[in-house]
Amino acid sequence: MYNVQVTARWKGKDRIVIEGSAHLPGPGTADYWVCQDGQVTASLVKATQPTFKNGKISAESKLVESPAGPLFDPNAHFEVVLSILGQPVQVPYFTIRVPVEGKPG
């Protein structure tokens, strides 16, 4: 299919790094959300704009104080919901869930 390989892991106590690759039939853009115990969290926001270039996926989230949503729990289960959208029409090639490896700290 698209031979997708993606990992998400904690980097320190306040960052999640997302890296991987996918072989698609054309160009695309990356987008993602971080979930804490199955709910999208506003506590982990994009530190950099996610990229999909030359088959490589790269993104990073940072921890911020959030007035809405579930409070950040370092012991929660975290996962990234990643979508690669085709260009120029933003229709997803795929959307996957990637568990975040490790714990913050």
Residue ranges of the domains in the chain?
5-101
CB half-sphere exposure, 62, CA atoms < 13 A? 6
Gap between the Cα atoms of 67 and 38, Å rounded:
19
**Residue range 69-97: mean pLDDT, rounded:** 92
Per-residue pLDDT at 89 exceeds 90: no
Domain covering 5-101: architecture: Sandwich (2.60)
pLDDT given for residue 105 in this prediction? 86
Per-residue pLDDT at 96 exceeds 80: yes
- Conformation bin of residue 68: beta by default, left when phi > 0, alpha when psi is -120 to 50: beta
**For residue 80, what are its two tokens?**
């990234």
Gap between the Cα atoms of 2 and 13, Å rounded:
32
The average confidence (pLDDT) of the chain is 94
pLDDT band at 65 (very low <50, low <70, confident <90, very high): very high
